[in-house]
């Protein structure tokens, strides 16, 4: 049953039940027997009306919206997860398959019209977050643990990548994680360190900006372990996920990590795109795992991939931090180590064109789609 015919049938039944209830109230005597007769009708009426009311009230989700699986990892890679969905100029969705250890990692491409998934490269340098520039090229954040620890610019036609930047003040980055692009084509990116045995050359874990002339500027080092990042459509707020898990505990013999901040910060920016005041806390996850990747829509709502084991899912909040909707992606109250987790999201991205109401979410080792009422904000498509 499609959503339109389902809605029509529900509405028809609601009208019938409403008319029946009206007749019973006006023609039946208010006896106990009559009330007993009416009760099932009222219960059925409420059961049919409630889902319609919830769908109408939800500002984000389309009626009947559900997680649609599109791809599950088939390559024989060592654990890890899928990450970094980003929409290309042709509407295809590129995303990363990021393993642990010696495996190099992959960048994959999903074609919405055909449902086909293909390999863009199987030598990604441990690519994590992806983003597209206005000229149609793609930029990846290459991490540590054997990865490139740099930003790479990819030519989609030749499938060749070249280093955009790999250091600041002569020191190699820790492990570039996620990125976003502003309306001027400048790239904001996070540089935490979650894993890898490579010697660190930077003590700090910070947020940087790469300008079009190649200049790298430190934006903030306030987040303890900066992760997901996105700009508001008006470019006046920079959202940064602070996900300080204290380190990855992959084996029972690993020490229990000392956890830190699990928040989403909202940094005010000035006309030059630099932090102009103290940040506010948009969301505080407390002792639970926090937000990984994020995106925004044209209405300035913020979409958060929440890795909480108590409540994993997609959270959508207003610019003031009010929760607008939540889509659970996995079971609640999970426990165990990384390999035991189920339905834990990592990142999120909107489609474009005919696919503009599709929200793509990387979960565990797969790619999923969710239909929403809103449209994403894509800086690289401004004016197009």
Helices in the chain by DSSP H: which ranges? Answer: 3-27, 32-57
Q: Please, are residues 206 and 174 in contact by the beta-carbon 8 Å criterion?
A: no
Query: What six digits make up the tokens of 347?
Result: 């990142």
Q: Is residue 294 part of a domain?
A: yes
Query: What is the mean predicted confidence (pLDDT) over 54-63?
Result: 82
Domain stops at, among 57, 84, 103? 57
The answer on 193 and 321 residing in a single domain is: yes
User: What pLDDT is stored for residue 138 in this prediction?
Assistant: 98
The tokens 């996900």 sit on which residue? 243
Chain-centre distance for alpha carbon 269: 22
The answer on 146 and 17 residing in a single domain is: no
Query: What is the mean predicted confidence (pLDDT) over 25-49?
Result: 49
Domain stops at, among 14, 29, 57? 57
- Which range (52-61, 141-150, 275-284) has the least confidence? 52-61
The answer on 134 and 39 residing in a single domain is: no
The answer on 141 and 98 residing in a single domain is: yes
Query: What six digits make up the tokens of 249?
Result: 């505990």
pLDDT at position 243 over 90: yes
User: What pLDDT is stored for residue 38 in this prediction?
Assistant: 52
User: What pLDDT is stored for residue 31 in this prediction?
Assistant: 53
The answer on 77 and 50 residing in a single domain is: no
The answer on 172 and 40 residing in a single domain is: no
The answer on 227 and 172 residing in a single domain is: yes
Q: Is residue 63 part of a domain?
A: no
Q: Is residue 62 part of a domain?
A: no
The answer on 307 and 208 residing in a single domain is: yes
The answer on 205 and 163 residing in a single domain is: yes
Residue 309's domain is classified under what CATH number? 2.120.10.30
Query: What is the mean predicted confidence (pLDDT) over 199-218?
Result: 96
The answer on 248 and 215 residing in a single domain is: yes
What does the alpha-carbon distance between residue 384 and residue 367 come to, in Å, rounded to a whole number? 27
Chain-centre distance for alpha carbon 383: 25
What does the alpha-carbon distance between residue 279 and residue 301 come to, in Å, rounded to a whole number? 18
Q: Which residues pair with 305 in a beta bridge?
A: 314
Domain stops at, among 19, 35, 57? 57
The answer on 304 and 238 residing in a single domain is: yes
User: What pLDDT is stored for residue 21 in this prediction?
Assistant: 44
Residues 6+ away with beta carbon under 8 Å from 26: none
From residue 150, give the alpha-carbon distance in Å to each of 98, 249, 347: 15, 25, 20
- Per the structure, the count of domains in the chain is 2
256-284 pLDDT per residue, tens:
778 899 999 999 999 999 999 999 999 99
What does the alpha-carbon distance between residue 332 and residue 7 come to, in Å, rounded to a whole number? 30
Range of the domain at 74: 68-381
Mean pLDDT over each residue of the chain, to the nearest integer: 88
Which pLDDT band holds residue 253 (cuts at 50, 70, 90)? confident
Q: Please, are residues 289 and 245 in contact by the beta-carbon 8 Å criterion?
A: yes
The answer on 92 and 51 residing in a single domain is: no
Q: Is residue 222 part of a domain?
A: yes
Which pLDDT band holds residue 101 (cuts at 50, 70, 90)? confident
286-344 pLDDT per residue, tens:
999 999 999 999 999 999 999 999 999 999 999 999 999 999 999 999 999 899 999 99
């Amino acid at each position: 049953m499609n959503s339109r015919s389902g809605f029509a049938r529900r509405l028809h039944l609601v009208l019938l039940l409403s008319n029946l209830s009206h007749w019973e109230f006006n023609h039946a005597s208010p006896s106990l027997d009559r009330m007993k007769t009416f009760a099932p009708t009222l219960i059925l009426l409420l059961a049919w009306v409630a889902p319609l009311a919830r769908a109408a009230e939800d500002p984000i989700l389309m009626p009947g919206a559900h997680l649609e699986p599109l791809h599950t990892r088939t390559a024989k890679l060592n654990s890890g997860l899928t990450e970094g969905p980003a929409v290309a100029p042709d509407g295809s969705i590129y995303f990363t398959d990021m393993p642990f250890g010696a495996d190099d990692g992959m960048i994959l491409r999903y074609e919405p019209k055909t449902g086909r998934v293909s390999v863009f490269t199987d030598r990604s340098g441990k690519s994590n977050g992806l983003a597209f520039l206005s000229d149609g090229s793609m930029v990846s954040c290459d991490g540590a643990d054997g990865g490139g620890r740099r930003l790479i610019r990819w030519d989609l036609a030749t499938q060749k990548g070249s280093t955009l930047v790999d250091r600041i003040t002569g020191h190699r980055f820790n492990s570039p994680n996620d990125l976003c692009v502003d309306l001027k084509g400048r790239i904001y990116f996070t540089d935490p360190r979650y894993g890898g045995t490579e010697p660190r050359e930077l003590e700090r874990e910070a947020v940087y900006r790469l300008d079009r002339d190649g200049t790298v500027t430190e934006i903030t080092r306030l987040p303890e372990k900066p992760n997901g990042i996105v700009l508001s459509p008006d470019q006046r707020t920079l959202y940064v996920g602070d996900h300080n898990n204290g380190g990855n505990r992959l084996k029972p013999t690993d020490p229990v990590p000392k956890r830190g901040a699990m928040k989403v910060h909202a940094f005010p920016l000035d006309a030059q795109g630099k932090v102009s005041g103290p940040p506010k806390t948009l969301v505080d996850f407390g002792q639970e795992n926090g937000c990984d990747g994020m995106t925004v829509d044209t209405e300035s709502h913020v979409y958060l991939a929440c890795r909480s084991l108590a409540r994993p899912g997609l959270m959508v909040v207003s610019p003031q931090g009010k929760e607008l909707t939540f889509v659970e992606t996995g079971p609640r109250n999970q426990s165990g180590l990384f390999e035991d987790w189920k339905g834990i999201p990592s990142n999120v991205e909107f489609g474009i064109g005919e696919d503009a109401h599709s929200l793509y979410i990387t979960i565990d080792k797969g790619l999923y789609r969710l239909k929403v009422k809103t449209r994403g904000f894509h800086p690289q498509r401004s004016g197009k």
